């Protein structure tokens, strides 16, 4: 049954054998037509999801909307995974499982209504992946070819609202601060043969799509400087200015930049989140929050030690104290080369090869990196948006590229991987060498939770 309309059954789906080239070609044509027939419904869903932006681990309305869409297909979804995540699976039990993965959360964005919006395009991810899932389900493709297909909505990709997430952790509602990390812990990807993801990007004259671009990993730090309050005019000598400590720390971090090797792709970008209550009082508290991004865990850890040293130097300079809280960010994203080859081939069936960037390196981060260190994963980046990502002016400029064409490419990839009982997907999974096994990965995350206090008060 079609998620967005009446059931469609194709006569040739009843007797064709697994892996037949002509039949796969016919299936691709039929699935592509199905996605195109859902065009208006897919775009409407994207606008609907864009109208209900929610912060990470708070995507309750988004989860309900996806559950409703899946129920319209006749597919019952698991909900409440990692608090607000969702998963639906079709196809024969025990067959190789192809996972369509979409982020669910919106991003704090100044200038947007209520200062939150899908300024990273996650509404497009969900709409596109649902369109692919529903088209394949409507034509009974997983059952016909003998593979499993899962649609997973992952909460909390944007690493924001750390205080709120830490509070959820204290309550025992989550253990880790990102959605995919929680889903990994819960076993959602344990049976995945391959994981497929998409991400929106702004229009560019140089490219229309990226295939398997890499991403930085990071750790996150919060630093609380504590000084001593005093009257700013009458008795500043009796105070200890925590804001001055934070400013010196920021300058000390900046002074480290020449020590970062270019090949490590280090990015440190702190913000000052608190710096005093009134002009008339020496600030007794100041807070800095930052990521330390890099191309490898070793490079990140090396840069993080320098940041800790700079934070301590700021406190030492004025006789304050600083408490540095570290939490695990994301693993660097190293996509599967084998999946990338097939994703590139699928993209080339719809785009000129000159429009496909096969060598993108982004300094951004995404918890798809955590998934990719355990199972084979790939990501399609696709244009169709104007403005600046993570800004209030980021919006669809071309609905066809923003919401429809990526789904056509990804459906083509799924059919290639799922042919002959998912043989190609299983071959990729069997040849894959994880960076860490699951137990070691979770132990690494646990080791990253750390809090240290450096006190230089008289």
List pLDDT tens digits, range 313-350: 999 999 999 999 999 999 999 999 999 999 999 999 99
Tokens of 334: 């190293």
Are 322 and 363 within 8 A, CB to CB? no
Cβ-Cβ contacts under 8 Å for 413 (sequence gap 6 or more): 196, 342, 343, 346, 378
Are 291 and 275 within 8 A, CB to CB? no
Question: What pLDDT is recorded for position 429?
Answer: 98
State the Cα–Cα distance between residues 243 and 274, nearest whole angstrom: 8
Where do the domains of the chain lie? 11-215+332-441, 217-329
State the Cα–Cα distance between residues 46 and 126, nearest whole angstrom: 8
Give the number of other CB atoms < 10 A from CB of residue 93. 8
Angle at 73 between CA 31 and CA 395, to 5 degrees: 70
H-assigned helices in 319-404: 337-348, 368-372, 399
Question: What pLDDT is recorded for position 252?
Answer: 98
SS3 category, 62: helix
3-state secondary structure 284-334: CEEEEEEEEEECCHHHHHHHHHHHHHHHHHHHHHHCCEEEEEEEECCCCEC
Are 44 and 409 within 8 A, CB to CB? no
Q: Which residues pair with 101 in a beta bridge?
A: 152, 197
State the Cα–Cα distance between residues 261 and 258, nearest whole angstrom: 8
- Which of 28, 26, 29 lies closest to 15, judged by CA? 26
Question: What pLDDT is recorded for position 63?
Answer: 98
State the Cα–Cα distance between residues 107 and 116, nearest whole angstrom: 6
State the Cα–Cα distance between residues 257 and 398, nearest whole angstrom: 39
**DSSP label at 400?**
I
Residue 388: Cβ-neighbour burial (10 angstroms; 0-12, 13-18, 19+): exposed
Question: What pLDDT is recorded for position 3?
Answer: 54
**For the chain, which ranges sit under pLDDT 70?**
1-22
The pLDDT tens digits for 399-445 are: 999 999 999 999 999 999 999 999 999 999 999 999 999 999 999 99
In Å, how far from its chain's centre is CA 222? 21
Question: What pLDDT is recorded for position 458?
Answer: 73
| CA atoms in the 13 A half-sphere facing the CB of 31 | 29
State the Cα–Cα distance between residues 5 and 434, nearest whole angstrom: 41
Dihedral of alpha carbons 42, 44, 50, 52, sign: negative
Q: Which residues pair with 381 in a beta bridge?
A: 199, 210
Are 390 and 120 within 8 A, CB to CB? yes
Question: What pLDDT is recorded for position 23?
Answer: 86
What is the chain's alpha carbon radius of gyration, rounded to the nearest angstrom? 24
Question: What pLDDT is recorded for position 197?
Answer: 98
CATH among 3.10.20.30, 3.90.1300.10, 3.30.365.10, 3.40.630.10 for 11-215+332-441: 3.40.630.10
State the Cα–Cα distance between residues 373 and 355, nearest whole angstrom: 28
SS3 content of the chain, % helix, strand, coil (to 5): 45, 25, 35
**What CATH architecture is 217-329?**
2-Layer Sandwich (3.30)
State the Cα–Cα distance between residues 237 and 250, nearest whole angstrom: 23
- Which of 184, 201, 202, 226 lies closest to 444, judged by CA? 184
Question: What pLDDT is recorded for position 13?
Answer: 39
- Which of 272, 233, 273, 251 lies closest to 318, judged by CA? 251
DSSP string, 155-178: ---S---HHHHHHHHHHTS-SSSS
Domains 11-215+332-441 and 217-329 share a fold: no
């Amino acid at each position: 049954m079609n998620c967005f309309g009446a059931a469609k059954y194709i006569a040739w789906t009843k007797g064709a054998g697994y892996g037949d080239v002509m039949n796969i070609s016919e299936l691709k044509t039929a699935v592509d037509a199905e996605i195109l027939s859902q065009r208006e419904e897919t775009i409407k869903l994207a606008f609907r999801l864009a109208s209900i932006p929610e912060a990470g681990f708070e995507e309750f309305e988004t989860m309900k909307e996806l559950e409703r869409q899946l129920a319209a297909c006749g597919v019952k979804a698991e909900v409440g995974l990692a608090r607000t995540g969702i998963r639906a699976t079709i196809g024969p039990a025990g067959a190789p499982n192809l996972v369509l993965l979409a982020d669910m959360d919106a991003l704090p964005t100044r200038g947007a209504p209520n200062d939150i919006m899908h300024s990273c395009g996650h509404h497009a991810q969900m709409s596109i992946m649902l369109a692919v899932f529903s088209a394949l389900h409507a034509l009974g493709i997983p059952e016909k070819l003998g593979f499993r297909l899962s649609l997973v909505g992952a909460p909390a990709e944007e690493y924001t609202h750390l205080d709120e997430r830490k509070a959820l952790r204290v309550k025992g509602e989550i253990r880790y601060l990102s959605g995919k990390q929680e889903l990994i812990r819960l076993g959602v990807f344990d049976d995945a043969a391959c994981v497929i993801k998409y991400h929106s990007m702004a229009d560019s004259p140089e490219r229309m799509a990226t295939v398997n671009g890499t991403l930085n990993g990071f750790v996150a730090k919060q630093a609380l400087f504590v000084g001593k309050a005093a009257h700013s005019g009458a008795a500043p000598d009796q105070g200890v200015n925590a804001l001055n400590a934070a400013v010196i720390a920021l300058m000390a971090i900046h002074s480290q930049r020449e020590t970062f090797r270019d090949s490590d792709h280090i990015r440190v970008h702190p913000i000052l989140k608190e710096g005093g209550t009134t002009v008339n009082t020496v600030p007794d508290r100041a807070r800095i929050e930052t990521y330390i991004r890099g191309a490898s865990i070793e490079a990140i850890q090396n840069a993080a030690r320098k940041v800790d040293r700079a934070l301590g130097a700021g406190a030492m300079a004025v006789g304050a104290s600083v408490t540095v809280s570290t939490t695990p960010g994301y693993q660097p994203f190293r996509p599967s080369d084998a999946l990338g080859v097939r994703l590139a081939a699928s993209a080339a069936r719809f785009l000129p090869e000159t429009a496909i960037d096969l060598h993108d390196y982004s300094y951004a981060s995404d918890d798809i990196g955590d998934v990719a260190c355990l199972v084979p994963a790939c990501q399609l980046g696709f244009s169709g948006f104007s403005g600046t990502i993570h800004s209030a002016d980021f919006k669809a400029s071309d609905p066809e590229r923003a919401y429809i064409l990526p789904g056509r490419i990804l459906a083509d990839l799924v059919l290639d991987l799922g042919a002959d009982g998912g043989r190609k997907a299983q071959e990729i999974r069997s040849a894959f060498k994880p960076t860490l096994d699951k137990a070691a990965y979770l132990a690494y995350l646990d080791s990253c939770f750390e809090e240290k206090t450096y006190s230089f008060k008289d």
